Amino acid sequence: MKHVKVLQLDWWMPSSFESGELWRDKYLSHTYFEVFPEFNRDGIYMNDQRCWFEIGGKAFKYDRKTFEFDLKMLSVKPLRKIEYEAFKVLRKAKLLSRKEKEKLWNYENWVELRKVRRDSAKYVIAGLKNFKEEERL
C-alpha cells in the first residue's frame, strides 16, 4: 500500500473499547460503517482509495474531507496578534491576495477548532465529574 497518511485519533476516540465504555461502542457502531482493519493500530488513515479509522481492533469508514481538513489544520502556523489585525484590515479593504485570504481563513478555522475542542473537553470532563459524584451517592 503506497502513500498512507496517518493522524492521531480525536480526543474522544482513544481507548473507547479498552475502557468498556458502552456508549462509545454503541455510538461508533451506529454512526460509522464498520470496515476491515488493515493495521490493527489505533489511528485515522487515508490512502488513494479510502479513508478509515482503527480503534481497539475495529475499523470504521471516515470522511475523507474531514481527514484532509484536519491534516490542513495541523500545518497552520499561528499568527501574532499584530499580523492577524493587519490581515483583517487588509481583508476589509479587499487588498488580500488569494494566498493571503486562504492563510487568514485557515488561521481563523484553526482558532475556532481549538476553541471547540477545548470547550468540548471541558464539557465532557464536567460531565464525568458529575457522573462520579452521582455514583458515590
Q: Name the band, by pLDDT with cuts 50, 70 and 90, for residue 30.
A: confident
Going from N- to C-terminal start, the domains of the chain cover: 1-63, 76-137
CA 83 to chain centre: 26
Q: Name the band, by pLDDT with cuts 50, 70 and 90, for residue 16.
A: very low
Q: Does position 110 have pLDDT exceeding 80, yes or no?
A: yes
Q: Does position 130 have pLDDT exceeding 80, yes or no?
A: no
pLDDT at 26: 76
Mean of pLDDT values over 34-59:
91
pLDDT tens across 81-106, in order? Answer: 999 999 999 999 999 999 999 999 99
